[in-house]
A and B are shown apart, each in its own frame.
Chain A
Amino acid sequence: MIKKTTYFLSAIVAGSLAMTLLPSEAAAQSMSPMRGKVNSFTDSFALKVYPANPYDHRIRIEVKVYDQDFRPLSDARVSPSNFTLAGQFARPVTVTVPFNGDKARRVRICTESVPFPGQAQNNVKAQVCGKFIGERVN
């Protein structure tokens, strides 16, 4: 419980440092922002991205975290990671990534959606990936 609370507080502190990453406008884009740098005093860094649904219909969106070479990061936390989003809307998603002892960590955060699921044989999954750097200050 204590560990969980500490982790949560670390995420909040790190998240407050990510305020510069907040977009001025997120509508009509698949994800915003798409680049950013976060300084953190804790063992992890957090940032907020805004996946958006540019369609008029509701779609399912997944937010995933990869390393620089698009290998999935199992230790990153995404909240929420899988959700449906109404047409023309955007919503915030919080991503927390531990440093794992490293001084800095580069990650790719991707918003993925299949806008017409099950309707065709040759469908397209749209994937928009931003590049982010977390740096440990202390």
Chain B
Amino acid sequence: MKKLLASMAVAAVLAPASAFAEDVPFTATVASTCGIVVNTAGTLGPNGDASVLSSANGTAAAATVTANALNFTLSVGAPSGWVTSPTGTPTTSFDAAMTFGGTTYSTSDTPSVPATATPVSVDMSATAASGSFPNGSYSTNATLTCSS
């Protein structure tokens, strides 16, 4: 009996505290994304005879485009019409442009978006086909598009 107890005591001392150590792997994937935050809307001001309303005579809209990859393009689109306008508003043609990184782009340009937070200013103009814009309130939306 004493021999058995002694053998068990020796075996307990020799037994390892932990027999195995394994790595536990972790992985992660961050999808490429692009986001637009419009910081401030702009205003349009009339020229001398009120035949043109433009942000050049008002203020440009400001947005921040944030991308985490280089596979996105940015484009600006002119409105197709007024959202609100007074009665008697003449037929209107619109144009828009965006500026970032010191370069101004037209509606036909699709530059790549830097993989960072980029301030973008958006300008717009509305030109009356004939005559001038009557007094009243006007609103419309240019479109800023970030696409993959």
Q: Hey, which bits of chain A sit against chain B, CB under 8 A?
A: 23-24, 28-35, 52, 54-55, 108, 110, 112, 114-116, 118-131
Contacts and interface: CB of A to CB of B under 8 A. Distances in A.
A129 B144 contact: no
Contacts of B128: none
Query: Chain B binding site: helix, strand, loop or mixed by DSSP?
Result: strand
B35 interface: yes
Interface of B: 28-38, 41-44, 53, 55, 58-61, 63, 72, 83-84, 122-124, 137-148
Contacts of B137: 121
Nearest to A114: B141
B61 A123 contact: yes
B147 A129 contact: yes
Given A122-B55, A124-B143, 17 more contacts: A30-B34, A33-B31, A34-B31, A34-B148, A110-B145, A115-B37, A116-B41, A119-B41, A120-B42, A120-B139, A121-B42, A122-B61, A123-B140, A123-B142, A126-B144, A127-B143, A128-B36
Q: Which of A28, A124, A125, A128 has the most CB of B within 10 A?
A: A124
B146 A32 contact: no
Nearest to A28: B35
5 contacts: A24-B31, A33-B33, A54-B35, A124-B143, A128-B145
Contacts of A31: 33
Contacts of B38: 115-116, 123-124, 126
A34 B34 contact: yes
